[in-house]
Structure formats: structure tokens, C-alpha cells
Amino acid sequence: MPGKTGIATRLSKLAEPRGRSVAVQYAKRQLRELGRQPSLFVRRLVDWTRFKSSVHEYQLIDETELRRHRTSDTMFVFGSGMSLKSLTDAEWREIERHHTLGFNWFPRQRFVRCDYHLIREIAPGRGDDRTLRVQLEEYFDVLRANPYYRDTIFLVQTGWRAVNGNQAIGLQILPKTNRLFLWRTIIGRSEPSQSFSEGLTHAHGTLHECVNFAFLLGCTTIVLVGVDLYDRRHFWQTPEEAASPVWDETHNTARHGLVELMGRWRVIFEERGVHLYVYNQKSLLAGALPVWPRLRPGTQRSEDVTRSSTAAS
């Protein structure tokens, strides 16, 4: 939550010619939405109003406190691919020596402590209020029951269009025992943002926002784990469920340019001394990112691997 200084800065920017132009364009978009989809506008208004009335009930932290929490230069970002089940206990304990970031339905796991969890897309933005509430309650019941999420910092999307974030806080479904960091999404942009005040780039999906977050937090090594993309299977599925051919198709984000864009992000990060890896050598991302050396008997510890990789680049 921005402090007084942050609010004053935003207000001063709005007073500038460019700021006034942005404010006018934003107001016009809302009026167009009201004209095209009045029910959606009303829903967002209700969600936003509830959010504003309930957010003070939570333990909000600012960017300064968020950075104080960082104790490692390495962040492991977790998708929900079936390859997570191939990791050994030794690999999980090695990963746990660094920072971990989950998103979407990663709370179903019982593998590793989760330091950060990004909340954006949980339940569909359409449907009746009761159905949406049931879906959110199901999600946070799973999260609340997971001991690996006891001290997790929740990274919650905020803003007018942050449907699930506004509902989770507005309806007070989100656990109040954890700290919260609020962030805004950037739509229609392909490169990673350079500051939290700009927001996080969504690009082809929430994965980009997670990577952008790790970069802005100051991590110099970012490893994508369980981001398989060659199919749509998830680590929590039973063998019978996973055997269905319905899960065989390539993940939709990979069909729309995610792999190529992550390759471009790797180049951008390398120029700033940040290294982006993929953990699963079979992942479609392995064609654009270097593969992280998995822990094996006799393998170097990850910090040594990082130093040698940096020296070689």
C-alpha cells in the first residue's frame, strides 16, 4: 500500500499535462465500458467498493519492507506442470535454500515452503456472485490448509479490473494472518517493467508477472520450475486423470508466443546481470532458455553453478 509520499507523488503526476491526459483517457474507458457492459461495470464497482472498505483489515507491506524480506539472490518460480513430481526430496531441499514463488493452483502442492504467492486469476470473472464466491472460498481453503503457506507473503493484484484480488479482500476471504503486497498489472506491453510503481507486465499470462516480480525484487537468478508447456497436465492429477488424451495438447500460452517472448526477456535480463533458466530440460522453454543443472550426486551447489554460469556468460 503506498504511503503518504507515494500518494502525493501520484497526485502530482496527475496534475501534470501527461497525467491529466492519462486520467481523461481512463475516465473515457470506464464510460465506454458502462455503455457497452453496464452489468460488468456495476460488478467491478461493487468489488472495488468492497475492497476499499476491507483492505485496512489486512497486513499490508510496502516495497521497502518487501525488499527487506529477500535473503537470497535466487528465485524459483513454480508452474503446475506434471514434471514437478519428478523432483527428488534432495532437489526440493536444495530449492528451499533459496526463495520460492507460486501462482494459480500451486497451493495444492506439499513439496516446498512457498515464500511468495501471486494472486491474479483464480475464478472466472463472469458468473453469478454466489458461484464466484464459492470458487474463491475453495481456493483459499486449499491455501489456508497448506502448512507450507504459513508465512507466505501474498502478492495480490489490485486496481479496477483486479476481479479476484478485489473480491478476495473485499469479501475478506483471503487469510488475514499473512502479509500482503499489492501490485497492478500492465496490459498491452511485452517488455518487463523496471519498477513496481509501473506495475507488472502480464504479456502472455501470469507467469510473466511472476518473472517480472522476481526481477524487480532484485533476484539475479530466476529459475522456472514445472513450466512444461508441452501438455496441460498438472501435478495433482491422478494417473487415470492424466492418462486422458484431452490433456495432450500444447499449453495455449506456448501457442501464442510465450516461449519466444521469454527468450527475449532472457536477453534483456542478461544485459542487466540477471539470469533466467528453466528447470525441466523437456520444457518447450528449453529452446529459448538455458536449463538449470539439477542436483545430482557430485553436482555443485546452486550458488557455485550460478557463479560459474555468470563468469562464462
- pLDDT per position as a tens digit, 143-164: 999 999 999 999 999 999 898 9
pLDDT of 26 higher than 80: no
Q: What is the pLDDT of residues 35-85, one digit of tens each?
A: 565 777 888 899 999 999 999 999 999 999 999 999 999 999 999 999 999
* Domains identified in the chain and CATH numbers: 59-307 (3.90.1480)
Q: What is the pLDDT of residues 236-245, one digit of tens each?
A: 999 999 999 9
Looking at every residue in the chain, the average pLDDT score rounds to 86
Confidence class for position 215, pLDDT limits 50, 70, 90: very high
**What is the structure's pLDDT at 149?**
98
Q: Give the span between the Cα atoms of 139 and 157, in whole angstroms.
A: 16
CA 261 to chain centre: 17
Q: Give the span between the Cα atoms of 149 and 109, in whole angstroms.
A: 10
Q: Report the SS3 class of residue 226.
A: coil
Phi, psi of 262, rounded to the nearest 5 degrees: -65, -35
Residues 51, 158 contacting (CB under 8 angstroms): yes
Nearest to 117 by CA among 89, 81, 80: 80
Residues 158, 182 contacting (CB under 8 angstroms): yes
Q: Give the span between the Cα atoms of 105 and 80, in whole angstroms.
A: 7
Mean predicted confidence (pLDDT) in 158-175? 94
**What is the structure's pLDDT at 283?**
97
Nearest to 288 by CA among 235, 236, 224, 240: 224
**What is the structure's pLDDT at 256?**
87
First-to-final CA distance of the chain: 38
Q: Which helix (H) or strand (E) holds 101?
A: strand 99-103
